[in-house]
């Protein structure tokens, strides 16, 4: 039997971090469709993130991407965010948008370019000191397009050296989240292509380094929940970049393409006792809203994570264990599917009402007038993020 009060408490305590870049204009490599009312600077992205938090109640942190969110005074930006009711979350590094990085950043054969990339990582750690951020999120676009282009092993050595330098700079509760991605922009070999590579580097670095799983960064049919279970068992899972994919790194709304996969992932989180923010996993979104309005899409995404979590919490663990241990394949599967097939929307509406929120955050946002206001106020908005 499931303890409904405990389920509600867990849902109330859940935290989801939103990405500053999802509020900005974005697109594909073919076209960026600009939208009216998009933020013109980091402050306006933070204001949009605070709006998402106002309507959902579970998104109190916003991740920054440097230099997309570069400002002169990060302490002032942090104070501005706090005034709006949100915190600065993970600091994301960007060593993928400079001409110098054509052949790689921290794995580049040129020592001068490696120095420049590593210095950027150190700069991001300095920024974390000013924003009070715990997490440094590293993703390297590094890789090669052609067999023989560079030495695969040397590139691993260069990567390890840069990671070590950054790791040794961490203080207090700061930590490194190392993200992996199978391909793109490199097509033949990526330097951190999978969770195993990330895990091995994190293990070598020490306990402040953990793996970030971006749900869009795998080969089709990869069993992501297995990766979650494995890394939790090793205490090496640090974060998620949630999004959905149909084909490649699509960055669509999480839970849109495959809500069942999201449920299976969240079940492993619940099973591993890792949902509570005190456990230390950062549940982040990493999405781009190219053709839809951004703020309601992010609210929808937060709700999709909540729905998958609620279903995961509703799995009758006792009945499941009993069926598993007696080898009752069909009953075990039925218990699992019963939870997935539960309509949890009324439960989540209740959780929101209990928290003093509107039970329907998207409708409440639409009624609020915020969308009309940003469209009127933010005239002449420039693009932030991709193709800026
Ligand atoms: C790479 C990635 C990584 C970047 C973000 C913008 O595909 O997922 O997390 O920082 O996109
Ligand atoms: Mn990502
Ligand atoms: Mn990605």
User: What are the sequence ranges of the domains in the chain?
Assistant: 14-310
Q: Are the C-beta atoms of 237 and 274 separated by less than 8 Å? A: yes
Task: State which ligand 1 atom lies nearest to the alpha carbon of 139.
Answer: 3
Distance, in Å, from the CA atom of 155 to the CA atom of 134, rounded to the nearest integer, reads 28
User: In terms of C-beta distances under 8 Å and separation of at least 24 residues, what long-range contacts does 155-162 make, across chains too?
Assistant: 155/104, 155/107, 155/191, 156/107, 156/191, 158/106, 158/107, 158/108, 158/114, 159/106, 159/107, 159/191, 159/192, 159/201, 160/201, 160/204, 161/106, 161/114, 162/106, 162/107, 162/114, 162/117, 162/118, 162/121
Q: Which helix (H) or strand (E) holds 91?
A: strand 87-92
Distance, in Å, from the CA atom of 342 to the CA atom of 339, rounded to the nearest integer, reads 5
| Ligand 3 centre distance from Cα of residue 249 (Å) | 5
Return the residue whose CA atom lies nearest to atom 2 of ligand 1. 139
| Ligand 3 centre distance from Cα of residue 301 (Å) | 16
Token code pair at residue 232: 């939790």
Nearest CA-CA partner of 279 in 294, 292, 268:
268
Task: State which ligand 1 atom lies nearest to the alpha carbon of 214.
Answer: 8
| Ligand 2 centre distance from Cα of residue 40 (Å) | 22
Predicted local distance difference test score (pLDDT) of residue 387:
44
Predicted local distance difference test score (pLDDT) of residue 382:
53
Predicted local distance difference test score (pLDDT) of residue 2:
83
CATH number for the domain running over 14-310? 3.20.20.150
CA distances from 95 to 106, 152, 153, 168, 169 (A): 8, 19, 21, 19, 18
Return the residue whose CA atom lies nearest to atom 6 of ligand 1. 286
Predicted local distance difference test score (pLDDT) of residue 379:
86
Q: pLDDT 10s per residue in the chain (388 long)? A: 689 999 999 999 999 999 999 999 999 989 999 999 999 999 999 999 999 999 999 999 999 999 999 999 999 999 999 999 999 999 999 999 999 999 999 999 999 999 999 999 999 999 999 999 999 999 999 999 999 999 999 999 999 999 999 999 999 999 999 999 999 999 999 999 999 999 999 999 999 999 999 999 999 999 999 999 999 999 999 999 999 999 999 999 999 999 999 999 999 999 999 999 999 999 999 999 999 999 999 999 999 999 999 999 999 999 999 999 999 999 999 999 999 999 999 999 999 999 999 999 999 999 999 999 999 999 865 554 554 4
Q: Are the C-beta atoms of 233 and 274 separated by less than 8 Å? A: no
Top mutation candidate among 92, 216, 252, 386 for ligand 1, by most atoms within 8 Å of CB: 92
Predicted local distance difference test score (pLDDT) of residue 26:
94
Return the residue whose CA atom lies nearest to atom 5 of ligand 1. 286
Predicted local distance difference test score (pLDDT) of residue 385:
58
User: What single DSSP character describes residue 155?
Assistant: H
């Amino acid at each position: 039997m499931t303890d409904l009060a405990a389920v509600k408490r867990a849902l109330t305590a859940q935290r989801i971090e939103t990405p500053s870049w999802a509020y900005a204009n974005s697109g594909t490599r073919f076209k960026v469709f600009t939208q009216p009312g998009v933020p013109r600077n980091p402050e306006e992205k933070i204001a949009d993130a605070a709006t998402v938090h106002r309507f959902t109640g579970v998104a109190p942190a916003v991740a920054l991407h440097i230099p997309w969110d570069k400002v002169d005074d990060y302490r002032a930006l942090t104070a501005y965010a706090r005034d709006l009711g949100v915190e600065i979350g993970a600091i994301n590094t960007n060593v993928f948008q400079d001409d110098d990085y054509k052949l790689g950043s921290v794995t580049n054969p040129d020592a001068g370019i490696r120095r420049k990339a590593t210095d950027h990582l150190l700069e991001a750690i300095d920024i974390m000191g000013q924003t009070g951020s715990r997490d440094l999120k590293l993703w390297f676009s590094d890789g090669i397009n052609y067999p023989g282009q560079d030495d695969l092993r040397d590139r691993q050595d260069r990567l390890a050296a840069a990671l070590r330098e950054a790791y040794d700079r961490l203080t207090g509760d700061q930590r490194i989240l190392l993200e992996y991605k199978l391909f793109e922009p490199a097509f033949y070999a990526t330097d951190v292509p999978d969770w195993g590579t990330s895990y091995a580097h994190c293990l070598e670095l020490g306990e402040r380094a953990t793996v970030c799983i971006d749900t869009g960064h795998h080969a089709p049919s990869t069993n992501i929940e297995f990766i979650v279970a494995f890394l939790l068992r090793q205490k090496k899972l640090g974060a998620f970049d949630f999004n959905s994919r149909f084909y490649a790194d699509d960055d669509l709304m999480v839970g849109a393409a495959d809500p069942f996969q999201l449920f299976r992932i969240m079940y492993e989180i619940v099973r591993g006792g890792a949902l509570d923010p005190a456990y230390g996993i950062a549940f982040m979104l990493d999405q781009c809203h190219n053709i839809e309005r951004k703020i309601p899409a992010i609210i929808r995404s937060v709700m999709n994570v909540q729905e998958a979590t609620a279903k995961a919490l509703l799995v009758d663990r006792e009945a499941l264990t009993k069926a598993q241990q007696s080898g009752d394949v069909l009953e075990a599967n039925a218990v699992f599917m019963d939870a997935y097939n539960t309509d949890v929307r009324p439960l989540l509406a209740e959780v929101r009402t209990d928290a003093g929120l509107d039970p329907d955050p998207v409708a409440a946002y639409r009624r609020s007038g915020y969308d009309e206001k940003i469209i009127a106020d933010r005239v002449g908005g420039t693009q932030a993020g991709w193709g800026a």
